[in-house]
Structure formats: structure tokens, C-alpha cells
Structure 1
Amino acid sequence: MVSCRLLRHAHRTAPRDRLRFDGWIAGVGTASGTRLVLGHWVRSPFGAFDDVMIERPDGHRLLLAPTRRTARFIAGTYSFDEVRVVPVRVRVSPGDGWAVTAGPLLDLRFTVGRRGPAGLLLRAVPGALAGSPLWTLVTDLPARLLLGVRTRGTAGGGRREWYGARDLRPITAATAVLAGRDLGALAAVRPPVRFGFGSTPHRPGLVRVTTTVGVAGHRP
């Protein structure tokens, strides 16, 4: 079976020019029109770190990253109009509440709800298979049709990228203050953000994901 062959491939050692990031991506829209994408990475070539990508209603794209190394790598993979290096911290409470701060610029808080059918389906896929770039051959078309997102494509600087989703939960409430301004109530992530080849689902949500970035000759 195709899935069995993919699972065997998934257990092989990743090529040296492919970098893996394991963690969560949260996509949040606001009534003001500003959209925010949080990356909460528990394992990566840079160690554990967090970053936030922000697109304002006028299209201005801002990256908030914790170190120059992570900022340089992310800005080489995605497109931004402005990059700032600030401490980015995430706290997760037992009640599924997330609190995100990025220096004095951003205070984001959101609550995660119970997973639906899509989340249950993603959790049923073996982790090694779900995180394999080969699995995106299977998931890319359904993701486009059902969620309006892509799971594979060409990133900045000639890099390639694969998103292996492993869980999906809705975000049910959120507040965000950016540079002292309240961004308003939780809303859909519309229009889609324009950092890379794909956006997050238009419904605010938290995705557990293994992201693989192909960068020939790169060493973090």
C-alpha cells in the first residue's frame, strides 16, 4: 500500500539539507483586519523558540523573532517589510489558554477549544508519517479544497517547504494589543496572509505541525 511505503520512508534519516521544526502554529484574525501567526517551536535546529508574523490591514508584514539567527533564517524563508528582534515568550495554562508576549510590542492571548473531526483525523495518522515530506503528496490537495491552505511549495531564497499537520484545534477567543493598540475581537484570517506560498486556515486555529525546510548547503 502507498501509505505503508511512505511510512517506511518516513523512518529514514532526513537529508542533511532538510531542517525540521516541531511545534505549533496558531493563526488569529482580528476585527481591525490585522492577522497574526504564532510559531511555537519546541524542537528545531535553533533549539526551542517562538516567533510571530503579523500582517496589518494595509499589507505591511512584520516579523518578531527572539534572536538575530532565527530572524535571519525566517526572513530568508518568508517575506517581510520589517523585522524586529525582541524577546518572544509563550505561556500555556492547563485550561488551554495561551499568552504570548513579544517585547513591549505585542500582547496576544487566546483560548483553544476542543478538536473537531479534522483534528481527530490528523491525530489518527502515525506521527512519523504525518511529519514526513512525502506525506504532503497525499495531504496537499485535500488541504487546498477543505481548508484553503497548501502543505508543500517553494519558499523564499529558492527553498522548499513541507507542512506535516498532526493536530488541529479551534481558537475560540482571542485578544491582542499591538504597539498599545487593541486589535479588536477574534475574526477570520482574511484576507490570507502573504508571508510565503500559503496562509493559515481562514478559521482561527492551532495546528500541531512538523515543518521541513529544504535549504541546500545551509547550516544553522
Structure 2
Amino acid sequence: MLRPNGATERRFRGRILGAGTTSGVRIVVGMWDRSPFGSFTDVFLELADGSSVLLAPDEIVAAYVSGTYRFDTVSVVDVRARRTARGLELDAGPLQATIDVGGISPLGRVLRIVPKPIARDPRWLALIDPVARLVSPGSGTAGSAGNGRREYYGVTGAHDVTAVSGTWAGEPLGTLAPLDPPVAFGFASMPRVPQVVDVETTIREPAV
């Protein structure tokens, strides 16, 4: 979408899952039903030593995402996310994980108060960003991204993540833990309590 000032606006609608593990690996999974690049899943990780990894399904997604967020390593791998009765089965190169998802979280109940068209509006998201950062330290709804881009997270629903198991590079992930410390790929992290959220991400790129 081209805005009147010449800036480009790209929208991604789907779900983001964030969870920590007792091994120290923190996982953020983006499952995008609608995007400028079609439907895809990508994975952000922060490892126990603090290094960050992007697992992307193709070179185009890898280039765009790594131009928006910060990573130490970018890998193009076959990323497969399969919904199950209990949650999600994830197979992404060196990462294999089974993630259980429970009922609507306390955050999800609060989000129901705001009508979805308002909750996705960048003007609203810029207004409430200070409140979001106060309520959930490390998180946010509006901020700066790479290459002069501006990003907005419009969250409309949330469910608890209740369990995680699997391996990273052949080593056990351990069990579920808070997403703590907050991940630092961009201007904001997911909440500390492991959750999967329904979201529309809007990225505005400067005019060229």
C-alpha cells in the first residue's frame, strides 16, 4: 500500500508465539496467513549466550525480515508449522519443537474490550505504546525498525502457551519458562508470560 506521503505500508496478519525454555533458548514464531510475501512461518531465537538467530523459509523473507530486525545469524531452512489438537508442531532446520497452547489468557480477555479495527490502527497503537510498556515491561505497540522503518503491533487476541519440548541443534530445549530476559530483535519483545497472540503488524517504510 502506498500512502499519500509516498511511504510504503506493508501489513502482516496472523499469529506470533513467544516462549522461553529452561535451556535458555527463547523462541518467537511468526505464523503469517496474509502478508506481502504470501503465507509463511518464520522463527526468531535468542540463545542462552545472548546471540540471535533468524530461521526464514526463503531468501526473500530472509532479506526483508533481517532488514527490519537485528540478528547475528540468518539461515534459510524449510520451516514447517503444523497445528495440532494440543497446539503446534514446529520443524525448522536445527529446531524441532512441540508447543502446547491453552485457553484465553488474562491479556486476551482485556484485548476483547477494544474493537478490532481500532486495535489494528497505527494511530491507536502509537497512542497506547507508553501504557503497553508500563503494563508489560519490554513489550510495546509502536517503535522504530531497521532501515528507517516504523512498526506497529495490533494485537487482538491472546492464548496461554502451557508447555514446550523439543531440541535446538540436537540439544534438549528443556521445559517451558518465562520469556525472560526480553528478546531484543527489534523495538519490543513479546510478554514475559508465554503466549500466542493474534496480531496485525504494520510496517511503514520511508519514501525513496
What's the TM-score bracket when you normalise by the shorter of the two chains?
over 0.9
2:56 aligns with one of 65, 76, 81: 65
Q: Name the counterpart of 2:19.
A: 28
TM-score (ref. length: structure 1): 0.88
Per-residue CA deviations over 1:67-89 (Å, capped at 9, x if unaligned) read: 10000000000001110001111
Select between 58-67 and 119-128 the one with higher mean Cα deviation.
Answer: 119-128
- RMSD across aligned C-alpha pairs, in angstroms? 1.6
Distance 2:170 2:126 in 1: 43
1:83 aligns with 2:74: yes
Q: Which runs of 5+ in 1 are unaligned?
A: 1-12
Q: Name the counterpart of 1:139.
A: 128
Q: Name the counterpart of 2:204.
A: 214
**Displacement of 1:14 after TM fit?**
6.9
Distance 2:21 2:67 in 1: 27
Select between 139-148 and 193-202 the one with higher mean Cα deviation.
Answer: 139-148
**Displacement of 1:142 after TM fit?**
2.5
Q: Which runs of 5+ in 2 are unaligned?
A: none
Distance 1:198 1:173 in 2: 23
TM-score (ref. length: structure 2): 0.93
The alignment-based identity, stated in percent, is 44
Q: How does 1:3-152 map to 2 (within 5 A)?
A: 15=3, 17-93=8-84, 95-103=85-93, 105-148=94-137, 149-152=139-142
Count how many residue pairs are aligned between Structure 1 and Structure 2.
204
Paired amino acid for 1:179: A
Structure number having the greater strand percentage: 2
Runs ≥4 in structure 1, deviation > 4 angstroms?
Answer: none
Does the residue aligned with 1:135 lie in a helix, a strand or coil?
Answer: helix
Paired amino acid for 1:62: V
